[in-house]
Amino acid sequence: MQVVTQAQAVQQQALAWRAAGDDVGLVPTMGALHAGHESLVRRARRENRRVVASIFVNPLQFSPGEDLARYPRPIQRDLEVLEGLGVDAVFQPELDQIYPASFRTHVDPGPWGEVLEGRSRPGHFRGVLTVVLKLLELARPSRAYFGQKDAQQLLLVRQLVRDFCLPVRIVSCPTVREPDGLALSSRNAYLDPARRSSAPALYGALRQAAQAYRDGRKDPAALERLAVEALSGRPELELDYVALFDEATLERPAEAGPGNVLAGAVKLGGIRLIDNVILGAEVL
């Protein structure tokens, strides 16, 4: 496995692979890898001749006061995990390889970047889309792999690809969970035991609403309310939002239908948790 730190070098390697007819799968990450990331890498490994994983904690997508400085960076372990999964190249750039002093241009995500996650995290999706565009240009993948857990991010990346006619297929991968339902996240490491035991309640609330949908309830506002009410018995979870939206437009549908996303965000002792379920698709 190559570990590449230079932007130019990763681009040259990717261009050489593509010129030789090899397809390339890219898995962008911020490191601190868990089984969720691993599932993306495994899928990329199955579907491409070459696999590139990137590890870059992107400062642009952190708001002031967020956890940029303390974000976990277990780089040796991450490299071992990626090696074990048969990745061809890890792109692990320093800051100046992505944002040299001369860097000026950013991707404006448009109105979808301002709602839900974007409302609580101003500038977050501008940072995400800027780094994703750069990583796509550097690694030149045929396919890029993203987790359904970050549903709004996935939708915005798809929009970026459509708007700029980027020659890449975006592959969404199902959310990997702990046995008690908590979606895996590098940030779960911040949870102390009491908070850790409360954390699955977010998924539990979303699931209850998804079950109500299965039982025939189709009013989006009523389904959102159900999830909010399920959370109201857990005062330690501070609600940010619960929103039901169309998976392609981020709009609330007139009537809930299969494929719609019911997403939620809470704060738990200052730690932000997000999760979502896809209506009609969840194993309940």
Q: Closest distance between ligand AMP and the C-beta of residue 223, in Å? A: 23
Q: How far is Cα of residue 140 from the mean position of the Cα atoms in its chain?
A: 20
What Cα–Cα distance (Å) separates residue 142 from each residue in 14, 168, 170, 227? 10, 5, 9, 38
Q: Residue 43 interacts with ligand AMP (CB under 6 A)?
A: no
Of 67-75, 78-86, 107-115, 184-192, the window that binds ligand AMP (rule: CB under 6 A) is 184-192
Structure-token pair, residue 279 = 């209506």
Q: Residue 36 interacts with ligand AMP (CB under 6 A)?
A: yes
Angle between helices 7-19 and 124-139 (to 10 degrees): 50
What is residue 24's three-state secondary structure?
strand
The percent of the chain in helix, strand and coil, each rounded to the nearest 5, is 40, 20, 40
Of 12-20, 32-40, 204-212, 252-260, the window that binds ligand AMP (rule: CB under 6 A) is 32-40
Of 88-96, 113-121, 129-137, 146-154, the window that binds ligand AMP (rule: CB under 6 A) is 146-154
Which of 176, 212, 222, 228 touches ligand AMP by CB under 6 A? 176
Q: Residue 173 interacts with ligand AMP (CB under 6 A)?
A: yes
What Cα–Cα distance (Å) separates residue 183 from each residue in 96, 99, 104, 281? 32, 31, 35, 16
Any catalytic annotation for residue 37? yes
Q: Between 32 and 243, name the residue whose CB sits nearer to ligand AMP.
A: 32
Q: Residue 37 interacts with ligand AMP (CB under 6 A)?
A: yes
The binding site for ligand AMP (CB under 6 A) comprises 29-30, 36-37, 39-40, 146-147, 149-150, 173, 175-176, 183-186
